[in-house]
């Protein structure tokens, strides 16, 4: 019996362990400890499972889970870009595409093709599944910052307009989640935390 497929899959699994070393700007809820990308991805998966009922359109939760679990794997090579950075664009870059091709190519061809297609779908954000995955990805740091009295918004002096602009993917996928987060952000803003 050939173990070539298994060896490729295990090589990929070893490689993505590096996600645990990518430290993000956002801190854990009610904490000053910054999270890593693996913690972020796990939390997004749980949020997708729990909050899917609030999507404006029907979504395939399995596809959403796959997207939120793989979308940041490119940061192993490309590094993390702070969502609220006003100097750097948080959109897909050539560096991220090269990272996606390298990392996903470690898998057997069928899985590599599936993962890169899911990653591209997430990045483009045109399907209901991708829009909801992006909404969850934006909701997570919003909730972190809300729980930390402004968190990185206060630390880096991010203004209210920038915060609301960066969180627009939530609005495009879930009126309920947007209404909640918008209200909480405005309440925080009234306390001069952003």
What pLDDT tens digit does each residue of the chain (194 aa) get?
A: 679 999 999 999 999 999 999 999 888 888 889 999 999 999 999 999 999 999 999 999 999 999 999 999 999 999 888 888 766 665 657 899 999 999 999 999 999 999 999 999 999 999 999 999 999 999 999 999 999 999 999 998 999 999 999 999 999 999 999 999 999 999 998 887 67
Contact 185, 146 (CB under 8 A): yes
Which pLDDT belongs to residue 82?
84
How far is residue 1's CA from residue 3's CA, in Å, rounded to a whole number? 6
Predicted pLDDT of residue 93: 77
In 2-85, at which residue ranges do the beta strands (DSSP E only) sit?
A: 23-27, 34-36
pLDDT at 88: 64
pLDDT of 193: 67
Q: Which residues, 6+ apart, have CB-to-CB distance to 126 below 8 Å?
A: none
Measured torsion, CA atoms of residues 107, 110, 114, 115, in degrees rounded to the nearest 10:
0
Cα(55)–Cα(47) distance, rounded to whole angstroms?
Answer: 12
Nearest to 50 by CA among 149, 139, 164, 154: 139
- Per the CB < 8 A criterion, the answer to whether 26 and 151 are in contact is yes
SS3 call for 167: coil
Helix, strand, coil fractions of the chain, as percent rounded to 5: 70, 5, 30
Under 8 Å between Cβ of 104 and 112 = yes
Q: Which residues contact 162 (CB under 8 A, 6 or more apart)?
A: 84, 86
Q: Which of 192, 54, 57, 62 is nearest to 136 (CA)?
A: 54
Instruction: Quote the pLDDT of residue 89.
Output: 60
């Amino acid at each position: 019996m050939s173990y070539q497929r298994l060896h490729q899959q295990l090589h990929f699994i070893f490689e993505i362990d590096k996600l645990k070393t990518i430290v993000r700007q956002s801190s854990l809820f009610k904490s000053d400890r910054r999270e890593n990308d693996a913690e972020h991805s796990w939390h997004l998966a749980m949020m997708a499972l729990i909050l899917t009922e609030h999507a404006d359109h029907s979504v395939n939760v399995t596809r959403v889970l796959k997207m939120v679990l793989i979308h940041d794997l490119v940061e192993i090579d490309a590094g993390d870009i702070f969502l609220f950075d006003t100097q750097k664009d948080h959109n897909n870059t050539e560096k991220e595409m090269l990272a996606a091709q390298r990392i996903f190519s470690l898998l057997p061809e069928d899985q590599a093709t599936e993962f890169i297609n899911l990653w591209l779908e997430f990045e483009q954000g045109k399907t209901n599944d991708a829009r909801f995955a992006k909404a969850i990805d934006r909701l997570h740091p919003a909730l972190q910052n809300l729980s930390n009295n402004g968190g990185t918004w206060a630390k880096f002096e991010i203004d209210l307009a920038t915060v609301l602009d960066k969180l627009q993917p939530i609005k495009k996928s879930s009126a309920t989640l947007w209404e909640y987060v918008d209200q909480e952000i405005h309440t925080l803003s009234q306390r001069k935390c952003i």
